[in-house]
Structure 1
Amino acid sequence: MPEHQRADARRNYARLLAVAEEEVAAHGAGASLEQIARTAGVGSATVRRHFPTRRALLTAVSGSRIEALSARAHELTGSGDSRDALLEWLGEVVTYCVTARGLAAALALDGAEPDPVHENSCSAALEEAGEPLLRRAAADGAVADGVTVADLITLAVGIVLATEHHPDPGARAQRLFGLAVAGLSPRSLSTQDT
Structure 2
Amino acid sequence: MKHLALCVLTAAVCSACANGGTSSQGRRIGTGLVVEYGLAHSGVEPKAGLQAMSDKGARLFGGMMEGWYGGASTNSYIAGHLPKTVRVTWRTDTVPGQRFTTGRVIGDYLIEVDKRVPDEVIRYANAGPGRALRLVFRIKDDGVLFGWDVEEVVSHPAGGSGLVYAMRGGDVPCYDLPRVANASQNCTEGPLEKAAWFNPQWIRGRKS
TM-score by length of 1: 0.30
Return the structure number with greater helix share: 1
Return the structure number with greater strand share: 2
Q: Which has the larger Rg?
A: 1
